[in-house]
Chains A and B, each alone.
Chain A
Amino acid sequence: MFFVLVVVVVTQAPGWPEFKAYFFDWDKYKESFPEIARAFWLNVKIFCIAEAIILVTALGLAILRSLPGPVFFPVRALAIVYTDLFRGIPTILVILMLGQGMPALGLSWVPDDQVFWAVVALVLVYTAYVSEVYRAGIESVHPSQDAAARSLGLTHGQSLRYVVVPQAVRRVVPPLLNDFIGLQKDTALVSVLGVVEALRQTQINEAAAFNGTYYLVAATLFVAVTIPLARLTDWLVARDRRRRLAGAMA
């Protein structure tokens, strides 16, 4: 209903013919698609590498923050400072600072590849976000589960590894995926470093032809990746539920 209303309002607008010519040029869409798709491949690579690293570092950070007792207070405090800092700074600033700052140091052992620093920036920022998701999951597992594991003689680490974390991760799959869709989209921010990924390529095309259809191409590519990701989560959640309740009809 709302969608129909939007369509009607937009197509009746006085600027619609120009708007249509600017955004919906089918020939330009077809012609530019391969080029932008090639650039988008870099987004996919950045996303995949960053995600694989974040899954591990964020869990590590969440576990550090859940360590009990006064002995680990400094560790917990550091983890909190880290999380506050990297959730507080806009992602685009972290990318700019690392991407422009680190190569400028001129140290021979510091990589000067901007894609490398873009990945580092995204890992730093998203580790902070995702560790909070993990932490919420860990805290949602009832303490009696840990007590049961410890009472059997398992160590704190074993209890985390075999009992608490597996349950926590299952519970946070949907919000985890939500953050990864965010990460997928934020790979476009890497364009501020001049790296030719999907958005940068689109901007180059747009500037040359003064046509916005290229934005539409980039949008199509991003959506084509994020929607299957969302369906995959739904499926994972449903499968886990089915398995645990298999046949429990009585």
Chain B
Amino acid sequence: MSALEIEGLHKSFGRLEVLRGIDLALAEHEVVCLIGASGSGKSTLLRCVNLLEPIDAGRIAVGGEEITTRDVDVNEVRRSIGIVFQAFNLFPHMSVLENVTLAPRKALGLGRSAAEAEADALLDRFGLADKRDDYPDRLSGGQQQRVAIVRALAMRPQLMLLDEVTSALDPELVAEVLELIRELAAGGMTMLIATHEMSFARDIAHRVCFLDAGVILEQGPPEQIFSAPAEPRTRQFLQRIVEAGRL
């Protein structure tokens, strides 16, 4: 059984067709990286999986259960899928602890003490214990993004979606966030990751998918995609990345 299964996914914004038939399946504990130029549909694909964007055609199943039927409870689905955004999107009027415990308390119905105990354990595990009472404005970008990941993890998701989580960070803050993601991968978390960090993708991914103009043009193990891409478009994209000094 696949942890995530996407079939024939189409999505348009007005006349612009952003996703033009995506087929993708993730096995449990698999880490898949999506690479491709800006506007190739990576973010939209992740947002569709989390049902933040209604899809036009196709089907998506998580843990064998279709989530794109009409009668599905979107809130129920989202509780089992964690998503982390490029811009962190922490709640600025809440402390770190409140950010992390809000959804477990209100969406899962956990009591305050249970939710806080669990949040403290997660914050401790990722080196954020001393930040629990701080407000997001006080934290560095790297710390904010780590809190955002912890906030998603607090829902005990069976699948994590990461949308260019290091793109808004200063270069010296990228490492701490990538380190956390490596740890999640080592712990067996199933993840679909849109990223511009090619060396990270090569390191962590079991499989790399190259998105181009709304389709998965090429996919395979990272060694193959990064050293011997079959498609000219993939070669061209990686060439530009190399020239920009990002690989």
Stretch at the interface among B99-107, B114-122, B183-191, B210-218: B99-107
Which B residue's beta carbon lies closest to that of A161? B106
User: Please, what's the 1-or-0 string for A151-175, where 1 marks a CB less than 8 Å from any CB in chain B?
Assistant: 1111100100011001100100000
Q: Could you tell me if A244 and B135 are in contact, using CB atoms closer than 8 angstroms?
A: yes
Which B residue's beta carbon lies closest to that of A144? B89
Which A residue's beta carbon lies closest to that of B47? A147
Of the candidates B76, B90, B138, the one whose C-beta lies within 8 Å of that of A247 is B138
Which A residue's beta carbon lies closest to that of B108? A153
User: Please, what's the 1-or-0 string for A136-153, where 1 marks a CB less than 8 Å from any CB in chain B?
Assistant: 000000001101111111
User: Which residues of chain B are near A243, meaning CB under 8 Å?
Assistant: 135
User: Which residues of chain B are near A149, meaning CB under 8 Å?
Assistant: 91, 102-103
Q: Which of B's residues lie within 8 Å of A, judged by CB?
A: 50, 52, 75-76, 78-79, 81-83, 85, 87, 89-93, 102-103, 106-108, 135, 137-138, 151-152, 155
User: Which residues of chain B are near A162, meaning CB under 8 Å?
Assistant: 91, 102, 106
Size bracket, chain A contacts:
20 to 34
Q: Could you tell me if A148 and B155 are in contact, using CB atoms closer than 8 angstroms?
A: no
Q: Could you tell me if B78 and A153 are in contact, using CB atoms closer than 8 angstroms?
A: yes
Q: Could you tell me if B91 and A153 are in contact, using CB atoms closer than 8 angstroms?
A: no
A176 to chain B, nearest CB (A): 17
B96 to chain A, nearest CB (A): 13
B216 to chain A, nearest CB (A): 23
Q: Could you tell me if A158 and B89 are in contact, using CB atoms closer than 8 angstroms?
A: no
User: Please, what's the 1-or-0 string for A102-113, where 1 marks a CB less than 8 Å from any CB in chain B?
Assistant: 000000000000
A226 to chain B, nearest CB (A): 28
Of the candidates B79, B89, B107, B138, the one whose C-beta lies within 8 Å of that of A245 is B138
**Known A-B contacts A153-B155, A158-B107, A162-B102; A148 and B138 likewise in contact (beta carbons under 8 Å):** no
Q: Could you tell me if B151 and A166 are in contact, using CB atoms closer than 8 angstroms?
A: no
Q: Could you tell me if B93 and A155 are in contact, using CB atoms closer than 8 angstroms?
A: no
User: Which residues of chain A are near B83, meaning CB under 8 Å?
Assistant: 151
User: Which residues of chain B are near A248, meaning CB under 8 Å?
Assistant: 137-138
B168 to chain A, nearest CB (A): 12
User: Which residues of chain A are near B108, meaning CB under 8 Å?
Assistant: 153
What are 18 inter-chain pairs, A to B, with CB distance below 8 A?
A: A144-B87, A144-B89, A147-B52, A148-B89, A149-B91, A149-B103, A150-B75, A151-B52, A151-B83, A153-B78, A153-B108, A154-B106, A155-B75, A155-B107, A158-B107, A163-B102, A244-B93, A245-B135
